[in-house]
């Protein structure tokens, strides 16, 4: 798991590379959970984007309504 530090210019994000499907849900849930506190503070939603068969990016976005987790596939 790779976590991008939070700065004023960019919200925090996590990139996951998942090797085994059996671990996918646990790892995705953990990544989302780690951003929930910051999402509450900033009142932002959490987009979860599958960027390849084994890679996901989890971040925060003002474009996603607060309290919402939005799943998308971009590959």
Q: Give the SS3 label for residue 42.
A: helix
Residue 6 has pLDDT above 50, yes or no: no
**Buried-state track 41-50, b at ≥16 Cβ within 10 A, e below 16:** ebebbbbbbb
The residue segments making up the domain with residue 63 are 2-73
**Which secondary structure element, helix H or strand E, spans residue 59, and what is its range?**
strand 55-59
Task: Write out the two tokens for 28.
Answer: 């995705």
19-75 pLDDT, tens digit per residue, is 999 999 999 999 999 999 999 999 999 999 999 999 999 999 999 999 999 999 998
Q: What pLDDT score does 11 carry? A: 75
CATH label of the domain that carries residue 34:
3.10.28
Q: What's the number of domains the chain is made of?
A: 1
Residue 24's pLDDT is 94
Q: Which of 24, 23, 20 is nearest to 48 (CA)?
A: 24
């Amino acid at each position: 798991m790779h976590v991008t530090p939070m700065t004023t210019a960019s919200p925090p994000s996590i990139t996951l590379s998942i090797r085994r499907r059996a671990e996918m849900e646990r790892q995705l849930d953990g990544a989302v959970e780690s951003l929930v506190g910051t999402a509450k503070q900033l009142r932002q939603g959490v987009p979860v984007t599958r960027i390849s068969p084994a890679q996901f990016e989890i971040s925060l976005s003002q474009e996603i309504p607060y309290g919402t987790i939005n799943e998308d596939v971009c590959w």
